[in-house]
Structure 1
Amino acid sequence: MPAHLTDYDFAAIPEEIYVDGTRRQGRFKDEILEQVALACNGTDRLSGCVVQCPGIPDMYGYERVVYAAGALQGITQLFVAAQKLIKHVDGHIVPTATCFEPVTVPYCRELYKKRGQELFTVGMQAHELCWTDAAPIPPTNEVVRSFLDRAVAQYGARSILYISFGSLFFPLTTPELVEALIDTLLTLEQPFPFVFALGGELASLPDELIKRVNASGKRPICPFWVKQRAIL
């Protein structure tokens, strides 16, 4: 929130750059907007600055956004709309809690208080089974479930690698690195069983690679949604 909804005007900065022929450098306005949102420092370029935000470790500006994801797929337009809206709201409701972020939540609450706005935290959303002592529910997919049972029986507990880039990100600009990771795991002298979940909209791997890995029956790549908690 401090990075994208506080300090910089993602609508005005690209406009300022675009009308300057020297700074525009032949780019379309949307391209400039994407680069301004990625840099998130008031310009369209990374500066090598160290980003400091209470509650999280200091980091370089280039570490704040995962560049391997490529373009932000229209998310920047949401930032622009949110920045306009945030000037007129009375408060913010966020899905977190002080027990999860004991430093950052009070910091953000104080930050927006100076703007006359309140910050309400409503906790994490999770199924009620996450908070009970009931036996864990195994994956409903038979391929995943049987693989996990075999791998645990053969290699023991905590021997399986779970790979997932989540639902909003996939390294689209560097697919060769993902393939290199898979090839490395397949050729290790000591077997390293893994489950690779491709549940996100952007997630994809070559069909040939998926078929080759899945044909072995040892390390499934799942081009469908899998229940992360069930796997864990």
Structure 2
Amino acid sequence: MSEFKGESDFDKISHAFENDFESFLRKSNLNDDAIASVLDCCIVRELDKGETFTADYEMSAVNFLCSGFLKSLLEIPVGTLRCAGFAAAGYCFHGDPPGGRQVTNYIALRQSRVISIRGEDLQRLAKEFSSIFELTIKVYTYKLYAERNWLVLGSAIDKKQYVLTTLYLLSIYQLKSGEEVTIRQQDVAEYCGVTQTYANLVINEAVKTGAIKKKYGGIEVLSFELFTDLVDLDLIENMAEQDPQMP
């Protein structure tokens, strides 16, 4: 695998994968007392590869992925699970609001650790510490921004670039973490809103450039320099700067 073209570019795009939970809390302006209170009521989930959990408000109002990689699944339509996104280490996300009609399920694509805060604990802490209340608002806003950004991206650029950008970001995670994660072409297609046939066509075209090669369970990057030439790097860097939790 070749070196990434421009270390500064790599840092800009991959910075979201470097946080641990306590660092995340400190960067969110929580003081020592607030951090200690949060850590005292956390639930730690150790997920084996293939294991799932449901992000409901009661048990998982706010969640932080300490390590690993998750795929989110939604029932669209009811009874049919579709890939709705991915979460890398350092990502903070909220559970579905109470009384909601749609529940998000997450499946671990490799061994993962998730820290969760119960809804009742979050309400109590938010009343006690204004910084935790502000952080809660940010977490819910981050997810809305992420969903909006990807919807806007999907309509602003052509589908080919959308598929390539998704593969590019997933590949950066694997390079950064040093861990291989199986991402099915079907998952990429569902996430990007294209057919599996079209996703396969885009991948085959990228293979011809020498940037990547196909393998069981996904792709392998042969040259990040060539892969970078296939995507809109300025767009990706802008997304990383605007959204610190870029999916």
**TM-score of the pair, normalised by structure 2:** 0.26
Question: More strand by proportion, 1 or 2?
Answer: 2
- Flag the structure with more relative contact order, 1 or 2, with Cα contacts below 8 A and sequence separation at least 6: 2
**TM-score of the pair, normalised by structure 1:** 0.27
Bigger radius of gyration among the two: 1
